[in-house]
Amino acid sequence: MPLFGLVHMRAWASLFGQLLRSPRALCIREVHVHSQVAEAVLTSQLKPHQEKSNFIVKTPKGTRDLSPQQMVVREKILDMVVGCFKRHGAKRLDTPAFELKEMLTEKYGENSGLIYDLKDQGGELLSLRYDLTVPFARYLAMNKVKKMKRYHVGKVWRRESPTIVQGRYREFCQCDFDIAGHFDPMIPDAECLKIMCEILSGLQLGDFIIKVNDRRILDGMFAVCGVPESKFHAICSSIDKLDKIPWKDVRHEMVAKKGLAPEVADRIGDYVQCHGGVSLVEQMFQDPRLSQNKQALEGLRDLKLLFEYLTLFGIAEKISFDLSLARGLDYYTGVIYEAVLLQTPAQAEESFSVGSVAAGGRYDGLVGMFDPKGHKVPCVGLSIGVERIFSIVEQRMKTSGHKIRTTETQVFVATPQKNFLHERLKLIAELWDAGIKAELLYKNNPKLLTQLHYCEDMGIPLVVIIGEQEMKEGIIKLRSVASREEVS
C-alpha cells in the first residue's frame, strides 16, 4: 500500500499542476492556501493510529438507550396511562419537537436557562420543546380552539444536571392530559386530580399523596409577609425547592441571593411549614393576615370547593393542602398540585427517592400570550413523570429478579428433520395470514433441541411441529413448551 491513498495522490497532483501553471494564473496567496491543504493532508496520513482508540462510543450526557426488556416495561406503563386518559374522553394531539424560540421565552421563569437552543437554520431561531404545555397553548391560539380535552405523549429536552438513579434526564418522555375551555370552577381541576389517583393506584407504585396549593394563595402570602411584588417569581422559585433542600437552605437563598429581608423570610417560614386537609383551608380563612388579602381569599374559596368535589370522587384522603408547594413555572395562575410517593422505612434507609411522579395545575393566561388580541382560554392539566415511574419499576424488577418477555410470539414453527424449510415457510405464512404471532429459525436444517431452547429463552408458549410423519398423516403436532404435552 503506498504511503498516500488514491484521493490524496490526486490532491497532490492537482496542487503540483496548479504550481506549474503560469505565474499569472496563480497568486502567492493561492500557493500558500494550497500548501496548507497539502500539509494538512500529509499530517492526517502520518498521525499515529493509536489516537483513534481515544474515541469513546456512548450516548450524550443525560440520555440513554432503552433495551427491548426496558421497552416492554415502558410500553405497559404508557398503555396504562393512555388508557386512563382515553377513559376520561381525551383526544390525542402531537406538536413539533422544536418550536420558534420566541414561543418559549418568558414562559418558564428561572428555568428558561434550561431550554435547548438549536443552531440558526434558514433565519429561524429554534429551541427544543421544554414541556408539552406551552406547545399546546400555542396550538390552541394558532387554531382558535376554545374548548378541548387532549392528551399528548412525547419527548421533551432540558439542559439540567441529570440524576439517572432518580429518573432525571436531559431527554425524557412526558404524558400530559389537559382540559381547555370555560367551565364552572374546580370541576375540571377535580377530574385532573382524580385521573392522577387512578393512574398512580393502577400502577401499584405504593402509597402516595398529592399536594395542592394555589398560586393566588402564594401571591397573597408573599404580599402579606412583605415580599416586594417584583420578587414574587424569584421567591416562588426558591419555595419550589423545599422538596429537595431544607427550609434553612431555602431561607438562606432568599435572603443572601435574592435580597429578601430576614424578617420577611421568617414570616414566610411560618406559612410554608403548614399542611393538612380541608380543615387547614378553614384555618387559613381565619388567619389575621391572609384573610385580608383578596387574591388569597379567592384561592381559598376555590380550594374549599375543590375538596368538596374530591370528597364526592372518593379521593379527598389522598390530597394534602400544602402551603410549601410552589411549582416554579411562571404560567400557573390558580390551583397547582404535585404527587409524591411516600417512602417505606427500607427506602428511607437506602436514601432512595425519586421526587414527584406527577404534577400540574391551572394556567388560564398562557393561551392569551400567543393570541394577537390576548383572548384567554382557561386551561388545567397534569403531567405524568414516566421516567421516574419507570426507574421505580425497573429498580423493583432488578430486586425481584423478574424475567421480562420481550416478544409477543404465540407459536413457534419447528421441525425435527432436515429439508423441511419449504413446509415450515408455507405453514408460518398461513399462521401470519390468520393473524397469529409466529416465528421460525432462519436455518435450513435446525436441530429440534436448538428450536426448543429458543422457545424457552424467548418465553414462547407453543410449538407447532411438522415432519415426515405429520405430512403422511396430514396433521401437525402442537406442543406446550412448559409442560411438554402434545396434541395433534
Domain locations along the chain: 68-343+351-400, 411-487
Cα gap 154→176, rounded to integer Å: 9
DSSP reduced 3-state for 379: strand
Largest CA distance in the chain: 97
Percentages helix, strand, coil for the chain, rounded to the nearest 5?
Answer: 50, 15, 35
- C-alpha torsion angle, residues 268, 269, 270, 276 (rounded to 10): 100
What is the full per-residue pLDDT of the chain (488 aa) written as tens digits? 443 344 444 544 453 444 334 444 444 445 455 556 556 555 555 555 555 567 899 999 989 999 999 999 999 999 999 999 999 999 999 999 999 999 998 788 777 888 999 988 778 899 999 999 999 999 999 999 999 999 999 999 999 887 765 667 899 999 999 999 999 999 999 999 999 999 999 999 999 999 999 999 999 999 999 999 999 888 988 888 888 889 999 999 999 999 999 999 999 999 998 899 999 999 999 999 999 999 999 999 999 999 999 999 999 999 999 999 988 678 899 999 999 998 765 555 454 455 789 999 999 999 999 999 999 999 999 999 999 999 899 888 888 878 889 999 999 999 999 999 999 999 999 999 999 999 999 999 999 999 999 999 999 999 999 999 889 888 989 999 999 888 87
Binding-site sequence positions for L-histidine: 131-133, 158, 174, 178, 327, 331-332
- State the CB neighbour count (10 A cutoff) for residue 80: 16
Q: Do the Cβ atoms of 413 and 437 come closer than 8 Å?
A: no
Q: Report the pLDDT value the prediction gives residue 40, as an integer from 0 to 100.
A: 55
Contacts of 141 (CB under 8 A, 6+ apart): 367, 368, 369, 370, 371, 375, 377
Q: Do the Cβ atoms of 127 and 345 come closer than 8 Å?
A: no
- State the CB neighbour count (10 A cutoff) for residue 237: 20
- C-alpha torsion angle, residues 280, 283, 284, 287 (rounded to 10): -150
Cα gap 198→201, rounded to integer Å: 5
Q: Is residue 467 exposed (0-12), middle (13-18) or buried (19+ Cβ within 10 Å)?
A: middle
Q: Report the pLDDT value the prediction gives residue 35, as an integer from 0 to 100.
A: 59
One-letter amino acid identity for 341? Answer: L
CA atoms within 13 A on the CB side of 301: 8
Output phi, psi for 126, to 5 deg: -120, 155
Which grid coordinates belong to 68? 427491548
Contacts of 444 (CB under 8 A, 6+ apart): 418, 419, 421
According to DSSP, the residues that pair with 439 across neighbouring strands are 412
Q: Do the Cβ atoms of 186 and 319 come closer than 8 Å?
A: no
- State the CB neighbour count (10 A cutoff) for residue 272: 20
* Rounded alpha-carbon distances, angstroms, from residue 447 to 414, 454, 465, 469, 477: 9, 11, 12, 17, 17
- State the CB neighbour count (10 A cutoff) for residue 423: 18
> Crossing angle of helices 215-225/294-313, nearest 10°?
150
**Could you confirm whether domain 411-487 is CATH 3.30.2130.10?**
no
If you write DSSP's letter for every residue of 400-445 in order, what string do you get?
Answer: HT---------EEEE-SSSS-HHHHHHHHHHHHHTT--EE--S-SS
Q: Beta 335-341 vs 98-100: how paired, if at all?
A: unpaired
**For the segment 263-286, what is each residue's pLDDT rounded down to a tens digit?**
999 999 999 988 999 999 999 999
Provide the terminal-to-terminal Cα distance of the chain, rounded to the nearest Å.
Answer: 64
Q: Do the Cβ atoms of 155 and 98 come closer than 8 Å?
A: no
Binding-site sequence positions: 131-133, 158, 174, 178, 327, 331-332
Q: Report the pLDDT value the prediction gives residue 47, as an integer from 0 to 100.
A: 56
CATH topology of domain 68-343+351-400: BirA Bifunctional Protein; domain 2 (3.30.930)
- State the CB neighbour count (10 A cutoff) for residue 89: 10
Contacts of 5 (CB under 8 A, 6+ apart): 45
- C-alpha torsion angle, residues 436, 439, 445, 448 (rounded to 10): -90
Q: Report the pLDDT value the prediction gives residue 411, as an integer from 0 to 100.
A: 97
**For the segment 130-146, what is each residue's pLDDT rounded down to a tens digit?**
999 999 999 999 999 99
pTM of the model: 0.82
Cα gap 100→143, rounded to integer Å: 17
Question: Any idea how long the chain is?
Answer: 488
Distance of alpha carbon 197 from the chain centroid:
19
Element of type H or E holding 137: helix 133-142
- Residue bearing cell 382560554: 377
Q: Beta 438-439 vs 411-414: how paired, if at all?
A: parallel
Cα gap 16→30, rounded to integer Å: 12
Determine the Cα angle at 323 with ends 322 and 324, to 5°.
90
